[in-house]
Amino acid sequence: MSHDDFAFEPVTGLPERPPEHEHILWQGRPDTWSLAREALKINWVTGYFVVIVGWRASVGAADAGLAGAIAFGLPYLGLWAAAMIVIGLLAMAMARSTVYTITTARVAMRIGAALNVTLNLPFRQIANADLSLRKNGTGTIALETLGETKFSYLVLWPHCRPGHVRVTKPALRCIPDATEVAQILADAAEARIVQPVLERKTTAPTGDLVAAE
């Protein structure tokens, strides 16, 4: 019997249904291979094992020729294969448990393979968005927030801008068609910010509404 860990969600990726005036514009998740390469450094791990296997094989070859090279290098090839499996499964679990959502009012990030967290970022709290694009079209959109809002790097990782530990920036990490997604985000944020916010006067006895800049 199949089991959906997120069957409790009224809308995929969101903890509750959006208000009637709010609409979902885009949803997506990280590309598994890109996440393994950029966040989990699978290429660096492979390079490390290439050096180790080459070194051990050369030592074995010096002692016993081809048979020695195989005997010395094979165990490390096995370790490399095990590391690739672990990294691949971890990247797959991270990607599968993640849903990024852009609506007409906010960016929402459901993240966490083990500890599930949903982060809501209204457009009015986002100061800037930076796109880092790869040749294959995947990219990362890092979000800079206004005010004193702080985020835990350990809680967000890998869904944060790489290298920014002191000031952690949430990020839509390793998403396909990143240029198109960035345009959707920019258009939605611009449309939302130019709308007036209606606030009730506290001094007016009639309860008039005024537009706040």
Domain that holds residue 56: 38-93
Domain tally for the chain? 2
Same domain? For 181 and 107 the reply is: yes
Which of 130-144, 161-175, 183-197 has the lowest average pLDDT? 183-197
Please report, as a single letter, which amino acid is at residue 183.
Answer: Q
| Residue 104 in domain | yes
> Is it the case that residue 201 has pLDDT exceeding 80?
no
pLDDT level of residue 121 (50, 70, 90 thresholds): very high
Whether the per-residue pLDDT at 196 is higher than 70: the answer is no
Same domain, 105 and 190: yes
Residues 83 and 107 occupy one common structural domain: no
For the stretch 140-159, pLDDT in tens is: 999 998 876 788 888 899 99
β-partners of residue 128 are: 144
Indicate the range of 8-17, 52-61, 84-93, 136-145 predicted with least confidence: 8-17
Domain-located, residue 14: no
pLDDT averaged over the chain?
Answer: 86
CA angle 19, 21, 26 (to 5 degrees): 85
Q: Does residue 2 surpass a pLDDT of 50?
A: no
Q: Which residue has the tokens 């350990």?
A: 154
Distance CA 2, CA 4 (A): 7
Q: What is the mean pLDDT of residues 85-107?
A: 96
CATH number (domain holding residue 139): 2.30.29.30
Which pTM value belongs to this model?
Answer: 0.82
